[in-house]
Chains A and B, each alone.
Chain A
Amino acid sequence: MSDYRILNTRAPRVDAFDKVTGKAKYTDDLSMPEMLFGAILHSPQAHARIVKVDTTEAKKLPGVKAVITSEDTEGIAFGVSPARYDEQIFASERVRYVGDEIAAVAAVTPEIARQALDLIKVEFEELPSVLDAHLAMDDEAEQLHERYKNNIVQQVHWDFGDVEAAQKEADVIRTDELTSKMQDAAFLEPQSALATYDQGYLTMYSSTQAPHYIQRTLAMALSLPLHKVRVVKPAVGGGFGPKAACSSMELATCLLAMKTGKPVKITFDREQVFLHSRARHQFFHKMTTGVRKDGTICFLEHEALLDGGAYCSFGIATVYYAGSLLGGPYRLENMKYDGYRVVTNKPACGAQRGHGAVIARACFEIQLDRIAEELNMDPVELRLKNVREAGETTCNELYLSSFGMKEALEAVRDSAAWKNKRDDQPDGKGIGAACGFFVSGAGYPIYYSKTPHCTVVTKLNEVGGGVIVESGAADIGQGSDTMLAMITAEVLGIPLSDVRVMSGDSDLAVDLGAYSSRTTLMTGTAAKEAAESVKAQILEVIADKTGASIDDLDVIDGEVINSKGDLNIEELRHDFRMEHRGFRGIVKSGNLTFNEAARVAFIDKGSIVGTGKYSPPKLGGSFKGAAVGTSPAFGCSAQIAEVDVNLDTGEVTVEKITGAHDCGFAINRTQVEGQMQGSMMMGMGEALMEEIKYDECGRVINANLAEYKIPTSLDMPPLESIIIESHEPNGPFGAKEVGEGGIMPTIPAILNAIYDATGVRINELPVTPERIRTALRKAGKVNK
């Protein structure tokens, strides 16, 4: 189906063997001679002034090598957005959530480290805690940070087009609300960090998504030269966003290593994953949308309140994304947005798959179904009437260079037999559809910089043959190493097995990391450029040595081919054979192999290195906050969910999800489907069961995976994944994102299906059996 040998296939992942056999090393698997074990003391109180921290007894415990508190950190502030550096490694003056870090210990065993924590005394002076996002903005509310008046970290006020005029054109105007809960990413591997400090060089191995940002934060916070800080990402068991920011645990691990001169490792317990969070915010959305009788969308007025817990983290971007990504995928020329991101005394929230946009998308897509009902229109038809096409620009100046939205929606409609099922379903069975829209790589880094977003260094093996791809990209399980290997092998015309990828190490190359669905488009482009450079350098030498024209030469299936006839390779082959007396398998006849060519090129030029980089073009409008939501390309997706609701108990069985996603071009078809299916699974969990629960003191009461529910294999329905390929001009071979966009339609598709099944609307996530039963009762639909 394509002209490619390697791309667009279902090549097995390059890390599959190691992962499946257990050979892959994750950070917590690493050990070093004389390594110490760290432990962190977390605050038991949600909001309190720290009167005194006494570590005297802890320091005396035999086996304890260091105990550190805010006194050892020089009051350094850090965070995600440089304009909002509001975190400290250890709380110095006050704690702001149950889990805030107060001290850390390094000891010869984990058990001693834990015992040392039991010996640290802390005196608190309780402060009123703020646990409700709405109340947080009251003038009387206790203020968490001096700099955030009314506890507001960031507010956004946008007004695109002319909403007021559009209101007059609308025949139907509806206002709807949707509330979600804070959610956890539930990755398999809890965060872990191992730091060493040797002759002024700090090296940290960490289960991170973004070695580059971590490197910068470590250097800044620990006052070290950037070039003497190295961050290495071993195998990572999922990230989904919460591992994209530097944490105080990572900083504490480094500090302990610097203080003791020995390697130090800290690995989070699952409970700490929940306490640290940095996962999905809580969203309160209110949307008013107007449409004409024929279904044309006239305007959207959108208010959002985001509860982000105790610190800013990614919060600025989150509140911008919540507004900006409603600019697509529909023709919406008039859009007003007022967004507020507040702090409360709960674990800080950050980025999570579909950053900022997931609940806003759900609210809008649910509302579209309600509007369709009022118009007596098929909800899929309503959407098809409004979808944008490639070449259009949204009201907030996002340019859609490729856009298979219509194709995706039609594909799921036809594959799921939408019309038949929509019209003819027994009570309790329902079907619902929704669309989604997402960036394919953030247009700007999180700190102000004109840096390339990534570089790739591809080096030819000097002995002849394979290549090594060096990249800073973070394969966190999504398969970016495989993507880099496939692109390189395709460009060089060699087997996938001859490409070795080294990645996730800040010493190898620059890469902003695995977030905002950027790696395939950005790092993929850099890898393509680097491989092309290597190939050109080899062919240049071969052309020179054989007298052929470089324009006629190519590498196909591992052999150098001259399109204008035979290549004079006698002498080259002779030299190669002389070099390899005693070696087996040296070719005697046939075309010049890539191995031979590579060796010839090295002998002529020395080490052959190709480099590539990716810098996005200038993107976005000139309005405040225009940078967030920009991207060199946009992905889009549509899904149809089918549900069976038990009207007696409220239990929902999702029977099938049919999804279509426009990824531009599938570098690896299996991995594209894997990302789509992972998104559907995660979206289904967030729709039906996922919710961080707090008690009245701000403590997470379900800080484990027994009580925080995500779907099990028994909950998962068959998932159909349809790949749409719109050939993105800004992506490598036409490829763009699939990592996050696929989650966008899942929640609203399921909620729309539940409405179709039950006739009751539920405006609070997750939609648990109890919430459905309660809604049925209120609607008088419960049999007495």
Chain B
Amino acid sequence: MERKKDNSAIKELIVPVTAVFIGLVLGGILMTLTGVNAIEGYKALIMGCFGRLEYVSETIVYTTPLIFTGLAIALGFRCGLFNIGCEGQYIVGLIGAAVVGAMDLGLPTFIHLPLTMLSGMACGAIWASVPGLLKAKFGIHEVVNSIMMNYIALYLSHYLVNGPIKDPGITSPYSREILDTAKLWRFFGQNSPIRVNSGIIIAIAAALFVYYLLFKTTIGYQIRAVGFNPEAARYGGISVPTNIVAAMFISGALAGLAGAVQIMGIQFKFLDIFAFQGYGLDGIAVALVGKSHPLGVLPSALLFGILQRGSQTMQMLAGVPKETIGIMQGVIIIIVAAEGIIKGWLPIRKILGTDKKAAGKEVGRA
């Protein structure tokens, strides 16, 4: 790896970049099919994301949770785990933050705010630990359990917000608004419609933290060793079960933090949800395109944040169905997952200088 450094960077990037490119071309084709000029469509997308200060703010608002869930899933991938349960961990994170944030304990901001955040993280971490423990103890695949936990979280939240944590003052199924001491700082004023807030700083800090954790600490090394080859890690004296639980715990905490930041910076209360918000699923695309690297997750999250935000404006301004973006996203994930499709492609093989090996082993466990 060290010997051919410049080439390896290209190797790492070529698949996601090509996949995104194919996705964009496909999006253009779909727009043309619906009778919209593709260039107009993409112009609407860019204008909708960066045309005005509010739009830039909204783009960042869309990006923030994707950074967290992208990091959560990337960290899981590094340990050979597929944390598909981010959706559920995000929901319990919302609830954890909404409940503690609304508690009037007479605490000052510098205690109440981190406490609220920690509560959301703890809920997510506990939620993720269940599949983690089941995997570590019984060897049950984490994917099925995570999916089950997603639905349990969804129904649990529905129950809670219609009963125990419902704001009695209003008829709608909302929880009580969190106190000012638990709210994140909005850059343009607490009541401003420009919603961008310090959540994005926390997200970037989280990315740096995960980078540090994975590549500069012992636990990070162990997590990666388990993901790379559990058998070898075990022979090397690394406890595989411990690291599986640890990775799921941290991953869940990140997904829970996504929920907490959403409550503390954007929603201020838990609003009843009837379907998954999609941040967990989008996080998978973010992690894959970011090559499961914490610093790759940042631009990747921004890309998908732009696409998500832009899909709305594309529909409004250019009449492009917003689902176009979803189709692109699905195709991008498939292509990155089956990187052999791209690596086996002749011009790409020439760039890579690998005419023989076209194996794909990166994503998750082989």
Do chains A and B stick together as partners? no
